[in-house]
Amino acid sequence: MPSKNSAGDSRAHLRVFPELHQSSRGWRFVPAADALKDRTVLITGAGAGIGLTLAKTCALHGANVVLLGKTRARLEAVFDWIGEHTHTRPVIVPCDLAAFADENGQALHDAIADEYGSLDALVHNASVLGSITPIAHYPSSAWENALRVNTSAPFYLTRALLPLMEVTGRHSSLIFTSSGVARQPRAFWGAYAVSKVALEGLCTVLAEELAQTSNVIVTSLNPGGTRTVMRREAYPAEDPNTLPMPEDHMDLYLWLLSAATRTQHGQRFSAREWQGPSQSGDSSAV
Ligand SMILES: NC(=O)c1ccc[n+]([C@@H]2O[C@H](COP(=O)([O-])OP(=O)(O)OC[C@H]3O[C@@H](n4cnc5c(N)ncnc54)[C@H](OP(=O)(O)O)[C@@H]3O)[C@@H](O)[C@H]2O)c1
C-alpha cells in the first residue's frame, strides 16, 4: 500500500515533476515515497527518453542513481535536476557503450563499490535503433554499432556488476529493456531486432543460471511504443500524442525495482499490457 503523508496525498512528492504527477493518477502500482531509499540504481541511457524519466523517478523515491549515457551534457542536466529536487547522491558516468569492454566494467565496479558499497538495481535501457533497411542493404557499421550497444554492452556491464548486486542482503533487480520486435522480429528492423532477440536470450540464460543460487531477480521489460526520440526516428509520420509517455510506465519499473520477488524472476513484462501486481503473482516486497 502507498504511504500517506500528512496532507493525505501519497503522490505529493511527485509534484516537482508535473508530468510524472499527472501520469501517476493512472498508475497500477503506487509505491511509498521512500520505496527506494538508500538503494543504488544504475540506469543506462539516463540522459534522454525513458531512461531520463526513470532516473528522475528513482531519485524522487529515494534512490542514489548512477546515470550512464553517451552525452555528458544531458547527464549533467539530470544530475542537476536530481540535486535540486532530492536529497539523494547521484553520479554521472559518461561513456560510449559501443566501446565498452572489460577494463571499463572493472573501473565501474570499483567506482560503485567505493561510493555505495553495493548495487541494488541495474536497468539496461540504452539502445540505438540502427537503420530501418532490408538485410540485403544493411550498412555494416550500423549493424556492428547496434549489436555492441544493445547486446554486448549489457553483457559486459552485467558480468562486471553482478558481484555488487549479490551482496545487497536483499533481492536486487536486473532489468533488460526489450522490444516488440524481440518477441516478434519483423522485416526491415535489421540489427535492432536481432540485437533485442539476443538480449532476450541473454536475459533467459542468465535467469536460468541464477534461479537457484542468487538474490538477483532477472526480468525483461518491453515498454512498447512510447513518446521518445527513438520512436519518432522509427515512425516519423506518427502523431506522438497518440502514444503513452515514459512517465506512464514508471509504475511497472517502480514495482520491479522496489518490490523485487522470486515470482518475477525470468518473466517478460510489457508495460502497455501490465495489469498491476495482482496480475503478476506475489507482489510482496522482500
Ligand atoms: N520508445 C519506444 O517506443 C520504445 C519501444 C520499445 C522499446 N524501447 C526501448 O526502450 C529503451 C529506451 O528507449 P528510448 O525510446 O527512451 O530511446 P532514446 O530516447 O533514443 O534514448 C536512448 C538513450 O540511450 C543512450 N545511448 C544510445 N547510444 C548510446 C551509447 N553508444 N552509449 C551510451 N548511451 C547510449 C542515449 O544517450 P544520449 O542521450 O547521450 O545519446 C539515450 O540516453 C531502449 O532500449 C529501446 O529499445 C523503446
Which pLDDT does position 5 carry in this prediction?
42
Residue 278 lies in a domain: no
What integer is the mean pLDDT of 55-70? 98
Look at residue 17 and tell me if it is in a domain.
Answer: no
SS3 content of the chain, % helix, strand, coil (to 5): 50, 10, 40
Pairwise CA distance, residues 32 & 48, whole Å: 25
Pocket perturbation via mutation, ligand 1, pick of 43, 66, 70 by most ligand atoms within 8 A of CB: 70
Asked whether 229 lines ligand 1 (CB < 6 A), one says: yes
Per the model's pLDDT, the better-predicted residue between 6 and 274 turns out to be: 274
CATH code of the domain covering residue 71 = 3.40.50.720
Residue 140: inside a domain: yes
pLDDT band at 9 (very low <50, low <70, confident <90, very high): confident
Tell me whether residue 235 is one of the annotated catalytic residues: no
pLDDT at residue 1 in the model? 36
Contacts of 110 (CB under 8 A, 6+ apart): none
- Which ligand 1 atom sits closest to the C-alpha of 71? 40
What is the number of structural domains in the chain?
Answer: 1
> How far apart are the CA of 218 and the centre of ligand 1, in A?
20
Distance 8 CA to ligand 1 centre (A): 36
For 176-190, the pLDDT digits (tens) are 999 999 989 999 999
Query: So what's the pLDDT on residue 202?
Result: 98
Which residue of the set 116, 138, 192, 253 is catalytic? 192
Considering the domain boundaries, does residue 95 fall inside one?
yes
Q: Read off the pTM.
A: 0.95
pLDDT in tens, 226-280: 999 999 999 999 999 999 999 999 999 999 999 999 999 999 999 999 999 985 5
When the pLDDT of each residue in the chain is averaged and rounded to a whole number, the result is: 94
Residues in CB range of 125: below 8 A, 6 or more apart? 43, 44, 45, 46, 50, 51, 54, 175, 177
**Domain span holding position 59:** 25-272
Nearest CA residue ID for atom 19, ligand 1? 49
Residue 2 within any structural domain of the chain: no
Per-residue pLDDT reduced to its tens digit, 190-238: 999 999 999 999 999 999 999 999 999 999 999 999 999 999 999 999 9
Residue 112 has pLDDT above 90, yes or no: yes
How many other CB atoms are there within 10 angstroms of residue 148's CB atom? 20
- In a domain? residue 282: no
pLDDT value of residue 278: 80
Provide the sign of the torsion angle of the four alpha carbons 249, 252, 255, 258, taken in this order.
negative
Residue 1 in any domain: the answer is: no
Is 8 within the bounds of a domain?
A: no
pLDDT digit string (tens) for 76-107?
999 999 999 999 999 999 999 999 999 999 99
pLDDT of 4 over the 70 cut = no
